[in-house]
A and B are shown apart, each in its own frame.
Chain A
Amino acid sequence: MLEQAVLPELTDLPRKKRNKRWLDLGLPVLSLVCFVSLWELSVRLKLFALPTPEETMKTFLRLLVYGDPLYAKNLLQLTGASLWIVAKGCGAAFGLAIPLGVLVGANPYLEKLTHPILEIFRPVPPLAWIPLAYLMFSSLPGPTRYVQAFVVFVGAFFPAVVNTLHGIKVIDPTYIQAAKSCGASSCQVLRRVLLPGSLPSILTGIRIGIGIGWMCCVAAEFVGGRMGIGFYIWDSYSTGGRAPEIISGIIAIGIVGYLLNAGIIWLERRLLPWR
């Protein structure tokens, strides 16, 4: 009886698997198709003054391959310039935030000491720093570059420091005791227990930090400078509402953001095989 009841399910298994693979691939495609159809529909019904998906796609490909003659730059160069700023801002942010998070997480006194500063500045939107940043860097040649990197820095710093700190604090104290019972010194506990134990949180902080850094960079480029994808979409608007160019820029920002996130997730899988 029992075997008979189980058998049909077993034979069903390959079909179910095939169905699942089809859905895994089909549903994302379906969602894109729906989105583009709605877009097309809203243009035809004249709901918004937007270019059609087709027109936009052509512009996007033209910008990707030939670039925009007004700026003599293609989409890769424009996003590349923004990415370089994100790299500088995030590099500085993580270089400071991760060691700080480890120290503060491991030391309750340091935590009390830094808590008010962190909690007052954390809720401030990174873009609110832009005017002050221009004043701070006004004596340097080309202050805009510094301002943009600084805004990215502020955006990436807090998620990284908060996640690192949290990652250290939630490590099961038994792991530390276990290491000490094996004869580990404080330095060894830090290197062999606290760091690997908090690595998942640190990577989460990096992933969120890069995501916010990328957003901050685009926004900071609206305000000043002659380079980058944020500047490009703002300038395309200012020079006469070039909607296909603006949407192409938005799509490029979205794709880069997606790829950055996917890259860190890939890195997480590589670095955390035990999860």
Chain B
Amino acid sequence: MALTLHNVSHFYLERQVLDHISLHIGTGRFCCITGPSGCGKSTLLRLVAGLEKSTGGAILLDGAPVSARSGQIGMVFQEGALFPWLTARKNVSFGLEMQGFKPKVLADLTEEYLSLVGLKQFAEYYPNQLSGGMRQRLAMARSLAYNPSLVLMDEPFASLDAQSRNLMQAELTRIWRETKKTVVFVTHSIDEAVFLADQIVVLSSRPGQVKADIPIELPRPRLRTSPAFVRYREQILALIENSEGTNEW
């Protein structure tokens, strides 16, 4: 499902957070949004998810406005936001229940997505019994299980150590290729963005504006040490460092 943002602006209290954001993300594409702190990346994601209403502009999924209730959108949060009172299995089936799936289908899909993220043996564990990486995989399973066409991820790997983070990026690439979703992934890490994305959107800060919209044409699986990979990293780093508010980087 293709996502189009047309002149999206947003004010929080008196302050402008986003300024005329326009971008297009094609069906099945992986888009990373990056930029300095305070550029409104997370706000943009919440607007797309329909959790907040934008002050101006239009957000369209295949030409129609979005709503959180439709089941078209799955969202993965920074700390996973798994429900601590539910087991891994119940967390995955939560979204399915909200979307009103029949019990039989619901149980099958839950098992399918637990296996997809490799947590079948941990189905009866509570989130606090799982490692950081497992929790993020579980959060992905929860937001993928009810088959949304658009998956929004808000710095999902930010709290993981560097090694788990690399593993999770590879894992996410695999899952994305298997499920063929359109993904919008917010990250602070340029390395992460270049590793994952088909398209990187760089925002400038206060208010957030689209500074650059760069297609990443690298074959997958990607090699972080390849010259082309490093060139993309340098290009994006230069864009972010030139933007205002660089003192925070």
Contact = CB atoms under 8 A, between A and B. Distances in A.
Nearest to B71: A183
Interface in B58-97: 68-71, 73-75, 77-79, 81-86, 94-95
Interface in A110-129: none
Interface stretch (A3-11, A60-68, A171-179): A171-179
Interface in A179-221: 179-185, 188, 192-193, 196-197, 199
B10 interface: no
Contact of A274 (B69, B70, B84): B84
A33 interface: no
Interface residues of A, number: 21
Contacts of A175: 81, 83
A210 B24 CA distance: 59
Given A182-B143, A183-B69, A177 B81 contact: yes
A184 B85 contact: no
Contacts of B127: 274
Interface string B116-151: 000000000011100000000000001100100000
Interface in A59-110: none
Given A174-B81, A196-B85, A274-B85, A181 B94 contact: no
B148 to A, nearest CB: 9
Interface of A: 172, 174-175, 177-185, 188, 192-193, 196-197, 199, 272-274
30 contacts: A177-B49, A177-B51, A177-B75, A177-B77, A178-B75, A178-B77, A178-B81, A178-B82, A178-B83, A179-B94, A180-B51, A180-B68, A181-B49, A181-B51, A181-B73, A182-B74, A182-B98, A182-B99, A182-B146, A183-B69, A183-B95, A184-B98, A185-B69, A188-B98, A192-B94, A193-B83, A272-B85, A273-B126, A274-B86, A274-B128
